[in-house]
Amino acid sequence: MASRRICLRSAIWALTALSPCLLAAGQDSPAASSSSSAAKHVKKSAAWADSSASSSIDSGTVSNGVYHNKTLALSCRIPPGWVLRTDDLNVSQPKGEEQKEPQTQRSAVPASSAGAKVLLAAFSRPPEARAEDINASILIAAESAASYPGLKEAAQYFFPLTEVAKAQGFTADEDPYEIAIGTKMLVRGDFHKDVGTRVMRQSTLAMLSHGYAVSITVIGGTDDEVEDLVDGLTFTPGGK
């Protein structure tokens, strides 16, 4: 249990290091409590997730402004001019935590043995660049579902996701709900956070697939911006 928590703390730090607004893919709290309020409002029949374990998950590739992941049968459109920070998030670690593996080895470790893994991190501008507007972003992350004993459906995974969002100052707009994108059914939660005179809007979609808990988080300054990013997601038949 201790080693799992270390992995998840590292993942949380990595996912938030370049942009404090990002929602991480894990939390110390177990996700298996189906009695949580998040799980109650999603139909029990949402056991559509493919829970068959796979030895690794495809890291995916970016081509012509589109991220493709064969394992998940997922495509994600990246707006023109955006910057990628996927590799930075996967190799970063909190200060004080020893990096036990060379960087080249860390990037090759499959998600099933590395805890959480960032599949895509894209920003409308470099995270270190300051500006008045919200730095819109897309984050796709996965971790082994085995890290959460008893995890059977994506609604349960929203317990740790929501806890992390709240810890970062976000407020849930409503209870999580089911949403169909292409051939895939996911669970979605919407959040908002006041940032001075602006409002940061975040939507996270979760699913279980090939033995992994997968979260897709988009952030924008308006509802329309968030919806445009969600509309850039596509699932097709024939995933690995």
How confident is the model at residue 235, as a pLDDT?
94
Question: Domain range for residue 214?
Answer: 2-235
Q: What is the pTM of this model?
A: 0.73
Q: Is residue 148 part of a domain?
A: yes
| Mean per-residue pLDDT over the chain, rounded | 74
Among 232, 237, 236, 239, which Cα is nearest to 203's?
A: 232
On whether the CB atoms of residues 218 and 76 are closer than 8 A, the answer is no
Number of domains in the chain: 1
On whether the CB atoms of residues 58 and 209 are closer than 8 A, the answer is no
Q: Is residue 155 part of a domain?
A: yes
Q: Is residue 240 part of a domain?
A: no
How confident is the model at residue 238, as a pLDDT?
62
Domain containing 206 — which CATH number?
A: 3.40.1000.10
How confident is the model at residue 6, as a pLDDT?
31
Q: Is residue 220 part of a domain?
A: yes
* Cross-strand pairs, 189: 204
Place of tokens 């949403």: 179
What is the mean pLDDT for each group of 10 consecutive residues in the chain (240 residues)? 35 40 37 40 42 67 96 96 92 47 32 67 88 90 90 90 90 94 93 92 95 95 97 80
Among 112, 110, 142, which Cα is nearest to 24's?
A: 142
- Is beta strand 184-195 parallel, antiparallel or unpaired with respect to 198-209? antiparallel
One-character DSSP codes across 141-180: EEEEGGGSTT--SHHHHHHHHHHHHHHTT-EESS--EEEE
Q: Is residue 67 part of a domain?
A: yes
